[in-house]
Each structure stands twice: as structure tokens, then as C-alpha cells.
Amino acid sequence: MSKETFTFQTEVSRLLDIVAGSLYSNREIFLRELISNASDACDKLRHMALTSPSLIEGDQDFKISLAIDEKAKTITVSDNGIGMNHDDLLATLGTIASSGTGAFIEQLGKDDKKNMGLIGQFGVGFYSAFMVSDKVEVTTRKAGEKESWLWVSDGKGEYTIESAERSERGTQVVLHLKKDAKEFLDASRVTHVVKTYSDHIGFPVTLTDSEGGKTLNEASAIWTRPVKDVTAEQYKEFYHHSAHAFDDPWITMHNRIEGVVSYTNLLFIPSMRPFDLFDPERKGHVKLYVNRVFITEQAEGLLPPYLRFLRGVVDSEDLSLNISREMLQTDPKLAKIRNGLVKKVLAELAKKAEKAPEDYAQFWENFGVVLKEGLVDDFTMRDKLLALARFHSTKAEELTSLSAYVERMKEGQEAIYYITGEDASQIATSPHLEGFKAKGVEVLMLTDPVDEFWMQHITQFEDKPFKSVTRGSADLDGVKSDDSADADADKKAEDAPALDTLIAAFKLELGASVKDIRPSKRLTESPVCLVADEGDIDVNMERLLRRHGQ
């Protein structure tokens, strides 16, 4: 096929304009991005070769090679991974598939200095090559295919694709360095960059220059190393790379479990909410490896959806390599791993909740709403999850646990009272709370939609029933009042004889739209409020269901 010329998609052109003109001071991250792509390409092929071994073509030593050519003023990144064919090149190097990119370009436009380092997180890391190059040449052959291709661009709106001669499978990216980027012809500079950003890569990264060749990294996946040999910095870099995250991990859990099923986990709890946390599919993002071979990032059954904020990897030599995703889901060995991981994570959270309550409160603000889904999904962990749960309440300034609430319960108080609604400030002024305030009884304020659901499944905590203050008779009779004036008010409410006539008049007016009208002690200032009957759907739940068209 003769040479074809294409124009970049508009977004790519915009991105390239910014990237090429960038004054970003950490331009070296282009190496991280290209090495990361090379590593992904090796991972992909190794995974595909599980089912199609012929793709390996007799060359199973995956590797990433860097080469510096001082005369030609180029630096080259090569891999023997999956490679790309003509269609792959068109679909990936010229178009932007990922959706978050628009926002990234927007941000970059405002302040490129700060944000360029995030380029990899937005699925456009390849284009960082144009920070340091005025021409990029990609020669590639896809594993299992005969034809190879050359993709060339100067990053100024167009690129070309033509047939090429490449016998090895995989991809070679040649960067023609800009005048002001000659520092990357210096082997020691490149070595330093690779050690800083790419040490965790599980394939050997070698560097060749006029002086000879050497291997730059440990080439052992970071989670296979002993904990004492990994620095906090390395964990962080791995988290950034593998989770496409830019915050720092809040908790890092690196464990080796030996047992009926042996596995290693390197899990992270982010310190910030990942953007897809509320994706309706509730997908997990922990990568599953079998004996260092990447299997899938969406291993259903590896972790429950209520722990989907976790990032990192789980690697087990005891799962079968050739197992299909469907079979994996029901593999009892995977269930064993899941149990172990869930217990480990919840125990780690309990430890933090006790030792660092302020940090834990921040975690809860980020992920509590997701963790609470477990109260409905996983009854085996219910007690542990209830103990981890934190709530806003009418009494405590900070978030409170249920056991702290129970400790504060008033003499004669039988139940844990709660109110649900959309936001705490709105709930706080609810007439339903008046009687509770007057008696000094604490009420938990639940503001997440999920609260309505788990409250239907869980009736009590430490033998104390949960009671909604907007439902039924939410009875405060047994509770001692803080002062006797309130007690008097109670008496008056019961005795008022004129109330019967008033109620009769209301009933006549409202007819079937209400079930009943009763005198109540829950109000001290407002004249009336709506309540749901004991067995009925709660008021806020009704509102929620209505909004979702049910």
C-alpha cells in the first residue's frame, strides 16, 4: 500500500498544540509514558498467548529496549509486545477514544505547568512524545500478522501510514529530539528517569548507547518483592501508574498469604474519590494476575462491589491460567481469595478508625457511601460494616459510630433513632425532630440514598432496634425528659379535648389521601407533620422511588 496521509482528530490537534508548546518542566515523563505503553503491549500479548500460543512466534522473552543515537539525535523505545496493524494505528494514534480527555485539554489550556504530568491518566500518554520531539516514527508489526507499518508525524495536524519492513513483532518508537531536548541523549540522565518512574515495570528495560548496553530496572513486578525491599516512593509510583491515579494512596496493603490458596495482594485505598466511583456498573479495578501473567482488571468475584474503591493487584499461582472469565467467577479458589481480602481490608479499616479517627473520617466522607452498600450485599460482614459505619447526628459535631451513639443513649431510651433525607442541614430543621430535641434525644441523620435500603435489611445494632422518626409512633414515652417543663407539655398534648374535633375536620378534608391522623408528642413547635406507618415505606424512600419513576 502506498503512503496515506490523515489529519488528526480535532481534539488530538488541540492536545498536540498544547503539548508541543508546553513549558512543562518535567518533560522526562514522556519516557514513563512510552515505557508504560511498551509494558502494556507485552502484557497484552502474554495474556493472548494463553489461548493462542502460536502468537509468541518462538520469542517469549518479553523486553523493552531503549537506544540512544547521538549522531541521529534520536532516542528509541522498542518492545516485542502485541504490536499494531493498520487499523490499530488508525484507531489509536490519531484518535482519542477515552472520554475524560476533553476535560484534561480544558485544564491544560489553563495551566500546563501543573497538569501535564497527568497526561497518562487520561489515556493520551503517547502524545507526550511531542513535548521533546519534532518528529515521531512508529514502526510496528502485530503478533501473528505478516505486514508491518510505519506511522510518522511531526505533530502538526497530520500523520502518514505506509508499509514498512520489520521482521520482529512489536513496536519501535523513534523520537527525533527537539534542539532543546538533547539532554535525553545522555545515558545517565535517561537511566535516572527510568529508575525514578519505571522501576516497577515487570519486564527488563535495557539501554544501549555508544558505550554499550545495560539493564536499568529490577524487572520483577513490584508485588513479588519482599515488603522490606520496596520504598514508599516506589509503592506510590506503582499506584500512580497502575491505577492511573494522581492522588497518593491513603493505605497500602502488601501481603503474601500462604495457605490452601496462596496469593499476594498489593492493594491501595486512594485518598481521593476516583471519578468513576458511582458508575452504575459498580466495576472493580483491582487487577488479577495468575503467576505474574495479567488476566483481567474486571475479575468479577475477586472483590465485592462495595470495595470497588480499591486499586492494585492480586496475584495467585493457584488459579488456573487458562480459565475463562465465566468459570473464574464461580471458582471456589477465587471465593477463598475474596474472603481473605475482604477480611483483611475491613480489619485494616477498623484499625485506622481506632488509631487515626480523623483520617478515617476523611476516608468515610470519600467512600462510606460505597462501603454501606455492603450492609445490603454481604450479610456475613454486616457486623463488621456496622462497626465501621459513621453518621452525622443531631448531637455530635463530628461523625459518630453506632457504639458511641449507644453509649450516649438516654436512660429509658430503647431505640436508635434516625431520620433520612437529602441533606443534613435540611433534615436538621425537620419538624419530626422537635420532640426529640425537646427531650434531648440524639437522632442520626442519614443523607445517602443507600441508607434507605440497608435500613430495610438491618433492624438492630447491639440489640437496639433502629427506628425512623418519620415513621409510626416513634415512641418517646419511656425517655426521661431533660426538664420537667417538657413533661408537662406531654401531659397537655394528651389531655387536649378539642383535638378530636380538629382531627375529624382534617379527616373530612383530606379523605383517602392520608391513612390516619393522630395526636403526637413528637412536635413542639410545628403544628403537623407527615409520618409513614410502621410497616410502610419511609417518607424519604417514597420520594426516592418516585424520582426513579417507580
- The one-letter amino acid code at 15 reads L
Task: List the single partner that 124 binds among Mg ion, ligand ADP, none, CB under 5 to 8 Å by kind.
Answer: ligand ADP
Task: List the single partner that 139 binds among Mg ion, ligand ADP, none, CB under 5 to 8 Å by kind.
Answer: none
Least distance in angstroms from the C-beta of 305 to ligand ADP: 24
> Which three-class secondary structure state does DSSP give residue 312?
strand
**Residue 37 near ligand ADP by CB under 6 A:** yes
Least distance in angstroms from the C-beta of 123 to ligand ADP: 4
Least distance in angstroms from the C-beta of 30 to Mg ion: 11
Q: Which of residues 107-126 bind ligand ADP (CB under 6 A)?
A: 123-126
Does the annotation list 62 as a binding residue? no
Please pick, from the candidates 14, 15, 35, 37, the single residue that binds Mg ion as defined by CB under 5 A: 37
**Residue 41 near ligand ADP by CB under 6 A:** yes
Does the annotation list 122 as a binding residue? yes
Least distance in angstroms from the C-beta of 119 to Mg ion: 9
Q: Which of residues 14-33 bind ligand ADP (CB under 6 A)?
A: 33
Q: Is 394 in contact with 410 (CB distance < 8 Å)?
A: no
Binding mask 260-279 for Mg ion (x = CB under 5 A): --------------------
**Residue 82 near ligand ADP by CB under 6 A:** yes
CA angle 47, 49, 52 (to 5 degrees): 130
Least distance in angstroms from the C-beta of 167 to ligand ADP: 17
Least distance in angstroms from the C-beta of 112 to ligand ADP: 17
Burial of 33 (0-12, 13-18, 19+ CB in 10 A): buried
Task: List the single partner that 41 binds among ligand ADP, Mg ion, none, CB under 5 to 8 Å by kind.
Answer: ligand ADP
Please pick, from the candidates 81, 83, 125, 368, the single residue that binds Mg ion as defined by CB under 5 A: 125
Going edge to edge, which strands form the sheet with 170-177?
Answer: 4-7, 158-164, 148-153, 133-141, 170-177, 74-79, 64-69, 205-209, 212-215
Does the annotation list 125 as a binding residue? yes
Q: Is 81 in contact with 40 (CB distance < 8 Å)?
A: yes
Cα 431 from Cα 533, distance rounded (Å): 17
Does the annotation list 462 as a binding residue? no
Q: Which of residues 231-290 bind ligand ADP (CB under 6 A)?
A: none
Does the annotation list 104 as a binding residue? no
Which region, judged by CB under 6 A, interacts with ligand ADP, from 36-44, 296-304, 387-395, 420-428? Answer: 36-44
Please pick, from the candidates 22, 80, 85, 171, the single residue that binds ligand ADP as defined by CB under 6 A: 171
Q: CB-wise, 30 or 417, nearer to ligand ADP?
A: 30
| Phi, psi values for residue 256, rounded to 5° | -115, 125
Task: List the single partner that 328 binds among ligand ADP, Mg ion, none, CB under 5 to 8 Å by kind.
Answer: none
Burial of 350 (0-12, 13-18, 19+ CB in 10 A): middle
Q: Kindly give the interhelix angle for 449-457 and 539-547, rounded to the nearest 10 degrees.
A: 120
Q: According to DSSP H, which parts of 310-356 are helical?
A: 325-330, 332-355
Question: CB neighbours of 245 closer than 8 A, spacing ≥ 6?
Answer: 121, 239, 270, 272, 274, 311
Does the annotation list 130 as a binding residue? no
Least distance in angstroms from the C-beta of 33 to ligand ADP: 6
Least distance in angstroms from the C-beta of 512 to ligand ADP: 59
Least distance in angstroms from the C-beta of 394 to Mg ion: 50
**Residue 84 near ligand ADP by CB under 6 A:** yes
Size of the site for ligand ADP (CB under 6 A): 17
Which region, judged by CB under 6 A, interacts with ligand ADP, from 81-89, 147-155, 313-321, 505-513? Answer: 81-89
Long-range CB contact pairs, 105-110, < 8 A, 24+ = 105/11, 105/14, 105/15, 105/18, 108/15, 108/18, 109/18
Does the annotation list 268 as a binding residue? no
Cα 61 from Cα 242, distance rounded (Å): 22
Q: CB-wise, 241 or 471, nearer to Mg ion?
A: 241
Does the annotation list 123 as a binding residue? yes
Least distance in angstroms from the C-beta of 210 to ligand ADP: 25
| Phi, psi values for residue 199, rounded to 5° | -65, -30
Dmax over CA atoms of the chain, in Å, equals 103
Q: Which of residues 307-326 bind ligand ADP (CB under 6 A)?
A: none
Instruction: Please name the helix (run of DSSP H) or strand (run of DSSP E) that holds residue 457, with its range, or none.
Output: helix 449-457
Q: Are strands 74-79 and 416-420 parallel, antiparallel or unpaired?
A: unpaired
Q: What are the residues facing 311 on neighbouring strands?
A: 268
Q: CB-wise, 171 or 481, nearer to ligand ADP?
A: 171
Q: CB-wise, 126 or 203, nearer to ligand ADP?
A: 126
Map 371-439 to HEC letters. Answer: HCHHHHHCHHHHHHHHHHCCEEECCCCCCECHHHHHHHCCCCCCCEEEEECCCHHHHHCCHHHHHHHHH
Cell numbers that stand for 53 in this block: 500460543
Q: Which residues bind Mg ion (CB under 5 A)?
A: 37, 125
Residues that bind ligand ADP (CB under 6 A): 33, 37-38, 40-41, 79, 81-84, 92-93, 123-126, 171
Residues of the binding site for ATP: 33, 37, 79, 84, 99-100, 121-126, 171, 325
